[in-house]
Amino acid sequence: MGGRDPDRRRALLDAADRVIRREGPEASMASIAAEAGVTKPILYRHFGDKSGLYQALANRHVRTVVGLLRPEFDRARADLRSRARAAIDAYLEMIAANLNLYRFLFYRAGAEDSRTHSQMTAIVRSLGEELGTVIAAETAVPDPVRAQVLGHAFVGMVQATGDWWLEHPEVDRAEVVEGLVSVIVATMSATLSR
């Protein structure tokens, strides 16, 4: 029953967050256990195994990302340019502020564990689907398939560009945001004028 205590799990995830933020994507399970004041077997008992810990961290932080982006998606009838700018800027700010955690979840955990990789891929896919639904509902894109294509394209473009930008800190975030916004607005304008 000790492995099911939600307060203890939360404390263990807090310890994992601290270690990953401090040590980066190479943070070890031993360091996480030490930070939490437990042994690795005790840490694993609460999550089943390393994969379970990875998935719990992914669930925790994905909710944060979705919670950040969903209000921007849901701002009905707001100007497209300002909505895109707000969503992209919020996303880039969040990944830059949580760089080690982002790299841990998307690259290390995803590479080491197929279940975590599938979970992270499903999250990106669901954001694309949600954005596609918004595009279909709020614009003159009559074809729901085309709206889904655009939703996935925009989410993938922003994620890939964000990854590139993290490797190029000399590039001003505002410049990246405006470049992405221009592509989205131009694409939507071309789609709507057909």
pLDDT in tens, 57-82: 888 887 787 787 777 777 665 687 88
The dihedrals phi and psi of 163, each to the nearest 5 degrees, come to: -60, -45
pLDDT higher than threshold 60 for residue 3: no
Instruction: Give the containing element (helix H, strand E) for 142.
Output: none
Amino acid at 55: Q
pLDDT at 34: 96
Q: With b meaning 16 or more CB within 10 Å and e meaning fewer, what string describes 139-170?
A: eebeeeeebbbbbbbbbeebbebbeebeeeee
Highest mean pLDDT: which of 36-50, 100-114, 164-178? 164-178
The dihedrals phi and psi of 73, each to the nearest 5 degrees, come to: -65, -35
pLDDT at 157: 96
Residue with tokens 């996935």: 152
Please report which residue ranges of 77-143 form alpha helices under DSSP H.
80-97, 99-103, 110-112, 114-138
pLDDT higher than threshold 90 for residue 164: yes
Amino acid at 4: R
pLDDT higher than threshold 90 for residue 123: no
Give 22's pLDDT tier (boundaries 50, 70, 90): very high
* 84 and 185 Cβ atoms separated by less than 8 Å: yes
Rg (CA), the chain: 19
